[in-house]
Amino acid sequence: MKTKEERPWGWFEILFEEARLKIKRIMVKPGKRLSLQSHERRAENWVIIQGQALFTLDEKTIRMGPRQAVFIPEKAKHRIENTGQEDLVFVEVQTGTYFGEDDITRFQDDFDRV
């Protein structure tokens, strides 16, 4: 069920989806970052596969590399930035009751999305 969607920061593809679980592979281009965002109806686990990242969870920032993982609770503000020279690739495991892209509240976005 691989569905790749391009974004201004890179792309993601859906690897698996069922009622309470969705798994994505996400690529962030060097120097790019996702919006500072939160979700009302899902939590996420991120596992870095390749590259170097600066991860933000609420007021905390963490440098991350391959084989490191983070848990993002529902409603927590979060963001990831590619701080390296190569593509940042990570796997996102979503758990919850709803996985639509409209369950994103953006607080800050480099590409002026709302």
pLDDT tens over the chain, length 114 residues: 577 999 999 999 999 999 999 999 999 999 999 999 999 999 999 999 999 999 999 999 999 999 999 999 999 999 999 999 999 999 999 999 999 989 999 999 999 987
From 3.40.50.2300, 2.60.120.10, 3.40.50.620, 3.40.50.970, which CATH number describes the 3-108 domain? 2.60.120.10
Please report, to the nearest 10 degrees, the dihedral formed by the alpha carbons of residues 47, 14, 9, 89 taken in order. Answer: 30
Q: Are strands 88-96 and 21-28 parallel, antiparallel or unpaired?
A: antiparallel
Q: Where are the domains of the chain?
A: 3-108
Q: How many CB atoms lie within 10 A of CB 50?
A: 13
End-to-end CA distance of the chain: 28
